[in-house]
Amino acid sequence: MDEPIPVTRTVDHGTAKLMPDVDRRRAWLLTVDGAPQSYVDLDAPDHLEFEYARRLGHVLDCVAEPGRPLGALHLGGGALTLPRYVAATRPGSRQDVVEADRALLALVAEHLPVPDGAGISVHGADARAWLESADADSADVLVADVFGGSRVPAHLTTEAYARAADRVLRPTGVYAANLADGAPFAFLRSQLATFSAVFEHLALIAEPAVLRGRRFGNTVLVASHEEFDTEALARRAAADVFPARVEHGAALRRFIGDAKPVGDEDAVPSPEPPGGSFGIG
């Protein structure tokens, strides 16, 4: 059998590389400009390699009873890791994926195609523009994993953006976002303040070392109008190889402190990560 060959291609927002995993026969790592973006095992789409992806997977597992199909909207496509996960764990789900880099979508479709009948529709568009034109009350869960390089774009950090996400979610829906920051957490605290202005319930999943300010890292913000099962989420996060905590309620309000919601006029991208912050999790 021929060995898989790495692929390098210029895409709309940089240089993308697909690199085979020597330990898993049909698994691939996608990077853009050297930053890891996605990991996909075509033989095991329920395998989530990156730590933050596993935590987003925990949220998806807790949104509804096991196996129940979902209406899911994914902002940020990459190699479609989480849409593949939902299709595998919740057959019959209807999913939309919005990715601004059309050349990246073409690369993924060519080399890592999604099986026919998976229920995944892919759209080449700006995440916020697509969100603002999407049908109201159309999604059970919205997953935001949008990075321009290694930073969340400024226009996806504001209260207007949070309200657009809320409009698309059903009343029982859940928003989950991959965010990255380090001490003193000005960006993360502002995002929590922004979403607390729109949603009644918030939770944050993060490694203790990140929360203590010892290193820069990924966190997962969870927001909803109905109370989320934080106990089930905490059990799953604590059982990971790299355990994480789930903060919510009074502890999270203390963490937010005096941070204010972000308006479009004062929005900035997430901070540039220090060199070497993101490896394979």
Of 174, 189, 170, 176, nearest to 55 by C-alpha is: 176
Taking the C-alpha atoms of residue 102 and residue 186, their distance in angstroms, rounded to an integer, is 32
Q: Which domains does the chain have, with CATH numbers?
A: 42-266 (3.40.50.150)
Beta strands at 94-99 and 71-75: parallel, antiparallel or unpaired:
parallel
Contacting residues for 280 by C-beta, under 8 A, at least 6 apart: 29, 36, 39, 49, 50
pTM assigned to the model: 0.95
Q: What is the pLDDT along the chain (281 residues), one digit of tens a residue?
A: 567 899 999 999 999 999 999 899 899 999 999 889 999 999 999 999 999 999 999 999 999 999 999 999 999 999 999 999 999 999 999 999 999 999 999 999 999 999 999 999 999 999 999 999 999 999 999 999 999 878 999 999 999 999 999 999 999 999 999 999 999 999 999 999 999 999 999 999 999 999 999 999 999 999 999 999 999 999 999 999 999 999 999 999 999 999 999 999 999 999 999 875 554 33
